[in-house]
Amino acid sequence: MNDSPGPGAPGPSPSGQPPGWPPPGGQQPGWGWGHTPWAPPPRAPQPGVIPLRPLGVGEILQGSLSTMVKHWRVVLPVAFGVSLVTQAVATVVTGLWREDSEALENLRDNASPSRVVEAMGDSIGTMGVTMVIGLIGSIIAATMLTVVVSRAVLGQSVTAGEAWQSSRPQLARMAGLLLLIPLLMVAFLAVCTAPGLLLYAAGADAVGAALALFGALGGMVGTMWLWIRYCLAAPVLVLEKQGVIASMRRSAKLVRGAWWRIFGVQILALLLLFAVAMIVEIPVGIVQLIAAGDLESATTFSWTSAVITGVGAVISSTLTLPFTAGVTALIYMDQRIRRESLDVELIRAAGQAPVG
């Protein structure tokens, strides 16, 4: 017997497991069809945090913020738990590296191109560990928070336990996504920097270092393109319950033709997150200065300073993780509304009367 409440409905089924959002079917008339040319379009239904129609940039950002405010009992504890674990690991790993790194000390004495490359190579292991741990935490948080956002759009609440039960079957595939996308980015970056690093290893220090730095800049541009291309893969995997490769292909399809718009929304969201991080960083810096006793001591490494920085990072991540996950999930929904008339399915799932 089919327990699904209907095609495209992200709400819970009688069995307790929320069904996935299906891939696009036939095209249906979207919001606003049927009104007369001289009359204003009817107001779109809004059972939850967004109106069920194509969204503006401000509505995506506001919808993510509204999800955090209205569903804080599940959103903030999930984000805090993930942030606490990931930042604790990052603080320990980074602290051990800074305590023992000779390349970092040499760079402070003479920041020549060759020593910059040496410091970059010395930090690769540390950066790799912290990046992987951070991505694991972000994926877990994004998986659970995407479920919360999908319900919030319909005006429905979900507990942390329900979000976990819905997210848990997807975690293995999310781990695959976690590994594949960063590996793809790292491989691209490695290809861009390899010629310079090979020249540097062959003895052409200045030329090799300069070429490696320029290659790294080009590689960062390419990884940004890959980031936007596959940024919707996580919501696709969670809500449509697709596999890793299928989710990446689906993300690329949804992003195609809208790369710059999605890039703009994501960059604007990152700027807002940067502002929040700076607001948190100011009091953290003051506390570090007080704990160190003087400015010179505050600029050198100490475990006290590392712990204070870690606490500030936990606070910042607790606020930024839900916002980032919400923005990405709402971009996904907006793209489906624009291209596949998902608003019709959402209106039906929310029990609202269709417009027009």
Segment 172-185, tens digit of pLDDT: 898 899 889 988 99
C-alpha to C-alpha distances, 329 to 60, 69, 273, nearest whole angstrom: 9, 16, 16
How far apart (Å, rounded) are the C-alpha atoms in residues 171 and 73? 22
DSSP, res 356: -
In a domain, 29, yes or no: no
**Under DSSP, is residue 242 helix (H, G, I), strand (E, B) or coil?**
coil
Instruction: Report the pLDDT value the prediction gives residue 105, as an integer from 0 to 100.
Output: 54
- What CA–CA distance (Å, rounded) separates 225 from 185? 10
Residue 264 has pLDDT above 70, yes or no: yes
- Whether the per-residue pLDDT at 3 is higher than 50: the answer is no
Does residue 355 fall inside a structural domain? no
For the chain, report the end-to-end CA distance as a whole number of angstroms.
Answer: 34
- Which residues form the domain of 179? 57-350
- Tell whether 143 is covered by a domain: yes
In this structure, is residue 240 part of a structural domain? yes
Query: Quick check: 135 and 182 in contact, CB under 8 A?
Result: yes
> CA-CA-CA-CA torsion for 74, 78, 81, 85, nearest 10 degrees?
180
**What is residue 11's predicted lDDT score, i.e. its pLDDT?**
45
Helices (H), 101-112: 102-109
Rounded Cα–Cα distance for residues 355 and 344 (Å): 9
* Helix then strand then coil, % of the chain, to nearest 5: 75, 0, 25
A 10 A CB-CB count for 295 gives 8
pLDDT tens for 220-250 read 999 999 999 999 999 999 999 999 999 999 9
* pTM confidence score: 0.79
- Checking if the pLDDT of 275 tops 60, the result is yes
Which residues, 6+ apart, have CB-to-CB distance to 149 below 8 Å? 49, 64, 67, 325, 326, 329, 330
> What are the Cα distances from residue 20, in Å, to 28, 58, 162?
20, 27, 15
Q: How far apart are CA 221 and CA 192, in angstroms?
A: 11
Count of domains observed in the chain: 1
When pLDDT is averaged across residues 205-227 and rounded to a whole number, the result is 91
- pLDDT interval class at 34 (50, 70, 90): very low
Sign, CA dihedral 342-343-345-349, equals: positive
Task: Specify if 41 maps to a domain.
Answer: no
DSSP H or E stretch at residue 151: helix 113-152
C-alpha 82: how far from chain center: 13
In this model, does residue 33 exceed pLDDT 60? no
Distance CA 344, CA 9 (A): 10
What pLDDT is stored for residue 254 in this prediction?
97
Handedness of CA 34, 340, 185, 174 (dihedral sign): positive
pLDDT band at 290 (very low <50, low <70, confident <90, very high): confident
Any idea which residue has 């209106």 for tokens? 347
Give 128-154 pLDDT, tens digit per residue.
777 777 777 877 888 899 999 999 999
